[in-house]
Structure 1
Amino acid sequence: MSDSTTTPTSTDTRQPAKSAVSRFLQATELDTRLIGMIGALALIWIGFHLYGQLVNGFGAFLTPRNLWNLSVQTASVGIMACGMVLVIITRHIDLSVGSLLGFCAVTMGVTQVWILPGLLGIGHPLIWIIAVIVGLITGTLVGALHGWLVAYRNIPAFIVTLGGLLVWRGAAFLIARGETISPVDETFKLLGGGPFGAIGATGSWIVGLIGCAAAIAMVFFGRRQRLRFGFALRPVWADVFIAGLSCSAIIGAVLLVNSYPWPKGIVKRYAAENNITIPEGGLFISHGFAIPVLILIAVAIVMTIVMSRTRFGRYVYAIGGNPEAAALAGINTKLMTVKIFALMGFLAGLSAAVASARLGSATNALGTLDELYVIAAAVIGGTSLAGGVGTIYGAVLGALVMQSLQTGMVLIGFDAAIQQIVVGSVLVLAVYLDNLYRRAAK
């Protein structure tokens, strides 16, 4: 009789060892999408710089002047992209933001150039403040109207905002009578940047040190919160690494903006007006952080706190994840929609102040095609068109990527047609990569 017993085969249940990179990412909890975007941005910057060196004999991209101007140019689109994230997360779209920017800019221009000087007197210190408030209120009311039509009249956001794209551009033309409204208030112009629209070297170091202190505090209090609620802690070295990396990035930004000096002609005029003797080697006055960049940073910080630390932000993600379940859970999805579009309108008004101040005038053509760049910035930054996924810092980085592409193509001499082809291709590629990422995450 043969032995029918068999020896059981042992199965190896051990998990494969993780690579050093995987262990590092797990310990630091860094967002892989964020790392990918920063890597893509670095490739864009280095690529345009090297191309300029090969073709023109010098690279003009990675210079303090170009990077400072790049940050200012990013501000307007970046501000609106912070609001577009919320709109797309909740499965809507806003095609009217560019036209709304132009409408708000014209409204502010008419207020401070045609109306208030006759009421308050030319050069009155309240003119620019009232003009900005009027622009912000205008944008908020228009955005709330769009949200009301979407939420309470069940008109698709695509149709409402497509109509708004046409309506508000036409309204801006009628109000301005097709004219360029200028000159705007001198203090108002500071919101657009420039040598006098920046905070200088000392102010930039103050901002940088405050930013470093905030970064360290966030890591410290985040660790305390994890201990308080019993969540898993990151290794101490990981917290130190994150704090150190954040501070290094902030200090690097300060050194960069402080290395860009005022133009010589402006320095001479400034020295003459203030009885300053220019030394033999010249007078070096740093630009420092531009005011529009500080506005963008402030908006990004506030919006990040709103999305991650408030009930409003949790409701936004809940509606984007499953609108029906959110409504059944007691969330007033219709009122939330109105609030989200009103916030988008408010940010469009703020962006209009920055854009018209930088231009030094208001025109109905201001903001043309900005809606496409804002949507592209949000999508490139990781906001999913399927809803429920998106971050503010991703949208800001997306805006920087978009502006870097445009600036780089201008520097190397690409015409407008090629620029549009590249921007459109990048947008399609971003959506495709988002689809691949969501499939891999399932």
Structure 2
Amino acid sequence: MTQTPSDTTASGPGTGAIGRFLKATEIDTRLLGMVGALIAIWVGFHLYGTIVNGNGVFLTPRNLWNLSVQTASIGIMACGMVLVIITRHIDLSVGSLLGFSAMVMGIAQVWVLPQWLGLGHPLIWILAGVVGIAVGSAIGAFHGWLVAYRGIPAFIVTLGGLLVWRGAAFLLARGETISPVDATFALIGGGPYGSIGATGSWIVGLLACAGIVWMLVNGRKQRREFEFPLRPMWAEYTLGALGCGLVIGSVLLVNAYPWPVGIVKQYAEANGITVPEGGMYISHGFAIPVLILAVVGIAMTFLMTRTRFGRYVLAIGGNPDAAELAGIDTRWMTVKIFALMGFLTGLSAIVASARLNSATNSLGQLDELYVIAAAVIGGTSLAGGVGTIYGAIIGALVMQSLKTGMVLIGFDAAMQDIVVGIVLVLAVYVDKLYRTRAK
């Protein structure tokens, strides 16, 4: 790529070095704010642990690896909640729907499918997952139909769903815990065997870096083709270095967390491997739930930014009446958005139940709070029309970081709820201030 006269048009004048940098690189200032808040939370909890307990454990490979796995379930659902909130609706049923879908999958793979296919059949985990996702999608579409074609407010429909599907999950198994799930299904929840190891993580990291470079090169090509202002070359290189640096840093982090000694011994005995005197180091690498979240984030970002469906979502959120006058079938779009929310909830139910190796009636309780909070903290406006997928994922990471940090420093459950409530109110207030300044 060579410098052209139009390369400098994107930078323009700025109020200072930082302002010119942000304008040239086109980095979202709200994204920077979220990342800054996340770093502050991490450092704050680590320093608190160091000062009070003498050992800061928050910024360790083990805790950050576990944090990423714990974030996956909420993050997956937050990606769908962005679309729901953008179109000026809300979904309060996702936690109960997750629990119901997980219970259906648990019954399918523990009570039903083994009788038909035989215990340990390789299709059990696949069929169970398909059933769970289908149930979530169907219920989500039903909610959307009630909202769009029967004119019932989404708040009421999904509040009813919160109660109905929690009760239905209890009735399905008479309040019992369904456990253990299929062994292959359980790998989707993470753990030593539910990770891809050091080599696999490096392959994923290198592919991600190649994708970042391709996006920058292709984006610049399209800008030139359509005669849009080009970013300066130094800005392109900076974005590429930041993106690839973050990816490589993540690979180094997950590879720095080894398997527990007991698991290593079991693995060595099962495979006839002699463990050296100094022990054997096996890295976890990226956990499968984290990779699922990454794929969902990429797919949903593509859906929102590169497809007609995404443009329709933003148009409906910006002005529903104008969108309908422009020929968009807003009611059918509402059904599809809620069905997509249900699909992602079913997928999240797979991750959550696999991680617990069971389906319990309490699975997913209060998840609706954390999912909505993640979307709002990530910059999705409750007024509609504004929101990003990556912002919701970062918001989910912020929420889970708060929960994990408070557990590590010994906050009781009541204090945790107070802090989460305060953070949610502050996030909405900050969004209001941001929109006021933007006018």
Does 2:381 match 1:372?
no
Deviations 1:362-387 (A, max 9, x none): 01210000000000000000000000
Residue 168 of structure 1 corresponds to which residue in structure 2?
A: 165
Distance 1:369 1:203, change over 3 A: same
Does 2:272 match 1:275?
yes
Q: Which amino acid in the other structure matches residue 29 of structure 1?
A: E
Give the counterpart of 1:180 among 177, 187, 196: 177
Give the counterpart of 1:215 among 212, 217, 223: 212
Q: Residue 123 of structure 1 aligns to a residue in which SS?
A: coil
Give the counterpart of 1:44 among 34, 37, 41: 41
Give the counterpart of 1:315 among 306, 309, 312: 312
Aligned 1:10-409 pairs, distance under 5 A: 18-409=15-406
Distance 1:154 1:255, change over 3 A: same
Separation in 2, partners of 1:431, 1:342: 26
Separation in 2, partners of 1:252, 1:17: 31
Residue 10 of structure 1 corresponds to which residue in structure 2?
A: none
Q: Which amino acid in the other structure matches residue 290 of structure 2?
A: V
Deviations 1:276-315 (A, max 9, x none): 1111211000000000000000000000000000000000
Could you tell me how far 1:122 is from its partner in structure 2? 0.2
Could you tell me how far 1:17 is from its partner in structure 2? 6.2
Please tell me whether the aligned partners of residues 103 and 173 of structure 2 are also in contact (alpha carbons under 8 angstroms).
yes
Could you tell me how far 1:273 is from its partner in structure 2? 1.1
Could you tell me how far 1:209 is from its partner in structure 2? 0.2
Q: Residue 238 of structure 1 aligns to a residue in which SS?
A: helix
Q: Which amino acid in the other structure matches residue 291 of structure 1?
A: I
Could you tell me how far 1:18 is from its partner in structure 2? 2.2
Residue 3 of structure 1 corresponds to which residue in structure 2?
A: none
Separation in 1, partners of 2:13, 2:81: 41
Please tell me whether the aligned partners of residues 14 and 20 of structure 2 are also in contact (alpha carbons under 8 angstroms).
no
Deviations 1:77-134 (A, max 9, x none): 0000000000000000000000000000000001000000000000000000000000
TM-score of the two chains, using structure 2 as the length reference = 0.97
Separation in 2, partners of 1:18, 1:271: 61
Deviates more, 1:17-26 or 1:89-98: 17-26
Separation in 1, partners of 2:289, 2:13: 49
Please tell me whether the aligned partners of residues 201 and 287 of structure 1 are also in contact (alpha carbons under 8 angstroms).
yes
Q: Which amino acid in the other structure matches residue 207 of structure 2?
A: I
Please tell me whether the aligned partners of residues 176 and 363 of structure 1 are also in contact (alpha carbons under 8 angstroms).
no
Please tell me whether the aligned partners of residues 316 and 385 of structure 2 are also in contact (alpha carbons under 8 angstroms).
yes
How well do the aligned residues superpose, as a CA RMSD in angstroms?
A: 0.9
Does 2:424 match 1:424?
no
Question: Following superposition, which runs of at least 4 residues in structure 1 exceed 2 angstroms of deviation?
Answer: 15-18
Separation in 2, partners of 1:283, 1:183: 29
Deviations 1:388-409 (A, max 9, x none): 0000000000000000000000
Separation in 1, partners of 2:210, 2:41: 31
Q: Residue 281 of structure 2 aligns to a residue in which SS?
A: coil
Q: Which amino acid in the other structure matches residue 441 of structure 1?
A: A
Deviations 1:312-345 (A, max 9, x none): 0000000000000000000000000000000000
Separation in 1, partners of 2:172, 2:154: 26
Separation in 1, partners of 2:175, 2:274: 46
Please tell me whether the aligned partners of residues 77 and 399 of structure 1 are also in contact (alpha carbons under 8 angstroms).
yes
Could you tell me how far 1:240 is from its partner in structure 2? 0.6
Larger Rg: 1
Distance 1:107 1:50, change over 3 A: same
Q: Which amino acid in the other structure matches residue 151 of structure 1?
A: A
Q: Residue 261 of structure 1 aligns to a residue in which SS?
A: coil
Please tell me whether the aligned partners of residues 102 and 350 of structure 2 are also in contact (alpha carbons under 8 angstroms).
yes
Deviations 1:12-67 (A, max 9, x none): xxx99621111111100000000010000000000000000001001010000000
How many residues in Structure 1 have an aligned counterpart in Structure 2?
A: 428
Deviations 1:170-189 (A, max 9, x none): 00000011000011100000
Please tell me whether the aligned partners of residues 108 and 135 of structure 1 are also in contact (alpha carbons under 8 angstroms).
yes
Separation in 2, partners of 1:52, 1:365: 30
Identity of aligned residues (%): 75
**Structure 1: runs of 5 or more not aligned:** 1-14
Residue 7 of structure 1 corresponds to which residue in structure 2?
A: none
Q: Which amino acid in the other structure matches residue 360 of structure 2?
A: T
Please tell me whether the aligned partners of residues 129 and 350 of structure 2 are also in contact (alpha carbons under 8 angstroms).
yes
Residue 5 of structure 2 corresponds to which residue in structure 1?
A: none
